Amino acid sequence: MSFLPDGHLSSVAIAMLGGAVRVSTPFLFVSLGECLTEKSGRINLGLEGTLIFGAMSGYAVAFMTGSAWAGVGAAALAGAAFGLVHGLLCSLPRVNDIAIGIALMLFGMGLAFYFGKGFIQPVAPTLPSINLGWWSDSPQLRSALRINALFLLGIVLALGMAWMVRATRIGLIIRTVGDSSDAARALGFRLVLVRVASTSAGGALSGIAGAYLSLYYPGSWNEGISSGQGLMAVALVIFARWNPVGCVWAALLFGAAGALGPALQSVGITQGYYLFFAAPYLLTLGVLIATSSPNRSMSGAPGELSITR
C-alpha cells in the first residue's frame, strides 16, 4: 500500500479493524445459521428475508417493551419460526429447498416492510456496548474497540458449534444426516426432525443477525437496513468450508472489506470509490469462482446438499 501517505496506513488499518468488528457480527450470525442448516443437508436461501424480518421484529419489540434484549429475543423467535416453516415445507415430498428459500426470502421481506411501516420513525433503545479500548488515548482506537456483546457471543457460539459438530452425539447425528440420508436412516436417526430443528435454529441465528443491524449498528429500522448479508452468507459458508470457526474469519474479512471504501475516502484516497465499495461483492464472486470446479465436489461440503450433488 505504498500509495498511502505517511500515517494514513495505520488510520486505514484501525478503521478496517473497527469496521471488521462493527460490520462483521450480522455476517457471523447469519453464516453460522446457514452453516448449521447446511450441515444437516438442507440449504436455506431465504435467510435474507429472515434477517430483515428479524431486524424489523427486534426493533418493534425493543421499542414497545423498552428493552433491546427483549428485541433480540423476539428476533430470534421470529427467525426460528421462519426456519421452522422452511424446514417443514422442505420435508414434503418432491419440494425443492432452493425454491422454497427464495419464496420465503421474498415473503419475509414483504412481511417485514408491511409490519415495519409504523416503526421507521420511532427511536428504539439500542444494545449496550463493552468498551475494550479504555487503555488507549486515541479516540479512533477507542471507538474501534467498542464491542457489542453479540459479537463476543457470536465468537463463543462459533467455537461451541465447532465443538458440538466435532465431538458431541448431537453433532454426529447432524453430520450423518447431512452427509448421507441412507446411513442416517440405517442408524435409526429421525431425518426430518433433525433437519427441521437445524433449519429452525439456523433461522433463529439469522433473526439475531437482523436484530444486531436494527438495534446496534447502524441501529435503526428502515427498508434499506440490510445490504445483502443474508444472501452473502451462502458464499461465506462455502468460503469457510462449512467450518463454524472459519465463519468467524470469513465474517471479519467481509466486515473489513466493507469498511475499506469509507476508510480510504476519509484519508484522501478518493478516486474510484465505487470500486472500493464493491470489495465485499468482488470478494464473494472471487470466492465462488475459486471454489467451483466441474470435476470435484467441494471439500468439506455435506454430501446431501442439493448444490453439491
Partner 1 sequence: MRPSSRLLTPTRRLFLQSTAAVTGLAALGSLPAGKAHAANVTVGFIYVGPKDDFGYNQAHAEGAAAVRSIPGVTIIEEENVAETVDVQNTMESMIQFDGASLIFPTSFGYFDPHILTVAQRHPDVRFQHCGGLWSADRHPENVGSYFGYIGMGQYLNGIAAGHATRSKRIGFVAAKPIPQVLLNINSFLLGARSVDPEIICQVIFTGEWSMSVREAEATNALADQGCDVITCHVDGPKVVMETAAARDCFVCGYHADQSALAPEKYLTGAEWNWAQVYTSMVTAHLAGEAIPNFVRGGLADDFIKMSPFGPAVTESAQGQIADTKAKILAGGYAVIQGPLNDNKGNQIAAAGQNFEETDVALESMDYLVEGVIGSIS
Q: What is the DSSP letter of 95?
A: -
How far is Cα 52 from Cα 86, in angstroms, rounded to an integer?
A: 16
DSSP symbol at 298: P
| Residue 95 grid coordinates | 419440494
Which residue lies nearer to partner 1 by CB, 69 or 277? 277
Nearest residue (CB) to partner 1, 268 versus 286: 268
Q: Does an H or E element contain 264, and which? A: helix 244-266
Binding of residue 233 to partner 1 (CB under 8 A): no
Nearer to partner 1 by Cβ, of 60 and 144: the residue is 144
Q: Does residue 267 touch partner 1 according to CB under 8 A?
A: yes
What does the alpha-carbon distance between residue 262 and residue 122 come to, in Å, rounded to a whole number? 28
d(CA 50, CA 203): 7
Buried b (16+ CB within 10 A) or exposed e, 217-249: bebbbeeebbeebbbbbbbbbbbbebbbebbbb
Q: Does 222 bind partner 1 (CB under 8 A)?
A: yes
**Applying CB under 8 A, which of residues 69, 189, 273, 281 lies at the interface with partner 1?**
273
Stretch that binds partner 1, among 29-37, 170-178, 232-240, 269-277 (CB under 8 A): 269-277
Which of 91, 136, 140, 291 forms a contact with partner 1 (CB under 8 A)?
Answer: 140
Residues composing the chain: 309
What grid cell was written down for 139?
479516540
Taking CB under 8 A as the criterion, the residue among 65, 67, 180, 220 binding partner 1 is 220
User: Is 281 a residue that touches partner 1 (CB under 8 A)?
Assistant: no
Please pick, from the candidates 9, 99, 123, 183, the single residue that binds partner 1 as defined by CB under 8 A.
123
Q: Could you tell me which stretch among 7-15, 69-77, 200-208, 285-293 binds partner 1 (CB under 8 A)?
A: 7-15
Q: What is the DSSP letter of 119?
A: G
The residues of the shown chain that bind partner 1, judged by CB under 8 A, are 11, 14-15, 18-19, 22-23, 106, 113, 117, 120-121, 123, 139-140, 143-144, 213, 217-220, 222-225, 227, 258-259, 261-263, 265-268, 270-274, 277
